[in-house]
């Protein structure tokens, strides 16, 4: 296990939120030097019998997929986190388990592939659990999880939410357990957290644990204790994150800005600087409207490293939505004869916003940072006012280019 690795995902549900809905947040911490891009994929129809190429392997394609916005390492097909136009959000965590048997480098589905597949195919959080677990059981998880760090592999846990509820889904090889969360707050880091209480699981969970000598078949079955590996860093961050959520949600007024604050917390290790071995390379906060309220959901992304010096930018799904090319990494010829061998690649995957942001924030005392934070505050106020006054009959045309406009304003600040 690589102890420096960190990722943290959070969800706050009613009655703790100010707007009565669900607020989701995630920091994606990845190997230093990796670029995370922000892309939009519209809904699509697919021919029967076709296959879908994921990062390493093909899976059967479904007849139709939902629109998604994804924050993803630019070298892979899958995503670290994202949202779809059905109000589903997903983030994943690297975990290390006792079901690692030396063949995790075999190319299967990455946890990030499962995040994207769930978003493209699910209209609810529970359906996302079904999508991930069915694919996991069929194909397994595995393959290098970095194009920078060799032999970097892990299993995955997921935090999935929709306007009604959240699910924590944790895996160990092809085995899994899932916990339903309907109120309060919940967070995960890089260690298994599901204990004796879970609502769903793989059918052979206990049998396999006993067969592998991990459980005696008589004591109370605790998923994390049976399958988890000790990770003191993850436990510390999970506990600190829990305290932050509980403190900031006192009075039932937890807001989008509170989730920004959680993701920007350095003392806990939740936010990691660019010089860290595994810095925070992208962040997401999603505000999901209550299920009985006809208002759009709003998703906020940095698309740049280190949320302390990044701007959270809003995105709302609309029929004609457009995002900026500044957050999309350059594409390279997939012809194997023209691709530099893995871990020796010299291609520059940095998108334009990443380059400009990196140069501008090299000095944390830069005057541009104060201007950017003011822009974010104003943007939050304007979006909240729009959502408060929104009625279904007015449509969403005026926010078709919301994210695009904010990104391009940020680019102008840097220039």
List, by residue number, the catalytic residues: 7
How many CB atoms within 10 Å of residue 374?
10
Residue 33 — left, alpha, or beta (φ > 0 → left; ψ -120 to 50 → alpha)? left
Q: Strands 175-181, 185-188: parallel, antiparallel or unpaired by DSSP?
A: unpaired
CA distance 96 to 110: 14
Q: Which residue is listed with tokens 């997903």?
A: 90
User: Which helix H or strand E contains 128, and what residues bound it?
Assistant: helix 125-139
Q: Residues with Cβ < 8 Å from 105, sequence gap 6 or more?
A: 142, 143, 144, 151, 153
How many distinct helices (H) and strands (E) make up the chain? Answer: 9, 18
Q: Quick one: 328 exposed, middle or buried, by C-beta within 10 A (0-12, 13-18, 19+)?
A: middle
C-alpha dihedral (112, 160, 354, 31), degrees to nearest 10: -50
d(CA 293, CA 287): 13
Cα separation, 268 vs 214, whole angstroms: 32
How many whole angstroms separate alpha carbon 119 and alpha carbon 131? 9
**Structure tokens given for 180:** 């339903």
- Rounded-to-integer distance, Cα 181 and Cα 201, Å: 15
Angle of helix 111-121 relative to helix 125-139, nearest 10 degrees, comes to 130
Inter-residue contact 314 to 297 (CB < 8 Å): no
Q: Residues 196, 28: contact at Cβ < 8 Å?
A: no
d(CA 90, CA 102) in angstroms, rounded, equals: 28
């Amino acid at each position: 296990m690589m102890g420096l690795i960190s990722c943290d995902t959070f969800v706050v549900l009613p009655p703790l939120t100010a707007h009565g809905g669900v607020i989701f947040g995630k920091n994606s911490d990845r190997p230093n030097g990796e670029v995370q891009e922000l892309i939009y994929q519209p809904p699509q129809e697919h021919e029967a019998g076709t296959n879908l190429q994921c990062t390493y392997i093909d899976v059967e394609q479904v007849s139709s997929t939902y629109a998604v916005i994804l924050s993803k390492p630019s070298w892979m097909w899958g995503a670290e986190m994202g949202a779809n136009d059905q109000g589903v959000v997903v983030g994943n965590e690297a975990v290390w388990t006792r079901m690692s048997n030396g063949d995790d480098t075999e190319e299967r589905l990455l946890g990030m592939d499962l995040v994207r597949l769930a978003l493209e195919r699910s209209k609810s959080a529970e359906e996302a659990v079904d999508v991930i677990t069915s694919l996991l059981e069929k194909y397994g998880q595995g393959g290098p999880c970095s194009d920078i760090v060799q032999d970097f592999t892990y299993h995955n846990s997921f935090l999935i939410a929709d306007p009604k509820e959240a699910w924590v889904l944790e895996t160990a090889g092809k085995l899994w357990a899932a916990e339903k969360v309907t109120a309060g707050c919940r967070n995960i880091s890089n260690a298994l957290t599901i204990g004796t209480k879970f609502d769903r699981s793989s059918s052979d969970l206990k049998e396999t644990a006993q067969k592998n000598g991990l459980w005696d078949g008589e004591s109370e079955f605790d998923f994390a204790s049976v399958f988890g590996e000790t990770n003191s860093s993850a436990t510390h961050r999970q506990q600190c994150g829990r305290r932050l959520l509980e403190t900031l949600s006192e009075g039932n007024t937890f807001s989008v800005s509170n989730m920004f604050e959680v993701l920007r917390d350095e003392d806990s290790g939740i936010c990691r600087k660019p010089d860290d071995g595994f810095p925070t390379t992208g962040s997401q906060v999603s505000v999901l409207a209550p299920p009985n309220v006809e208002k759009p959901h709003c998703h906020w992304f940095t698309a740049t490293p280190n949320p302390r010096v990044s701007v959270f930018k809003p995105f709302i799904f609309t029929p004609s939505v457009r995002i900026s090319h500044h957050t999309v990494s350059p594409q390279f010829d997939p012809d194997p004869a023209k691709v530099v061998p893995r871990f020796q690649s010299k291609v520059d995957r940095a998108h334009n916003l990443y380059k400009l942001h990196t140069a501008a924030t090299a000095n944390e005392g830069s005057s541009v940072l104060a201007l950017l934070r003011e822009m974010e505050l104003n943007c939050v106020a304007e979006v909240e006012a729009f959502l408060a006054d929104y009625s279904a009959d007015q449509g969403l045309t005026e926010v078709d280019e919301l994210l695009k406009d904010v990104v391009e304003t940020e680019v102008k600040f840097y220039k």
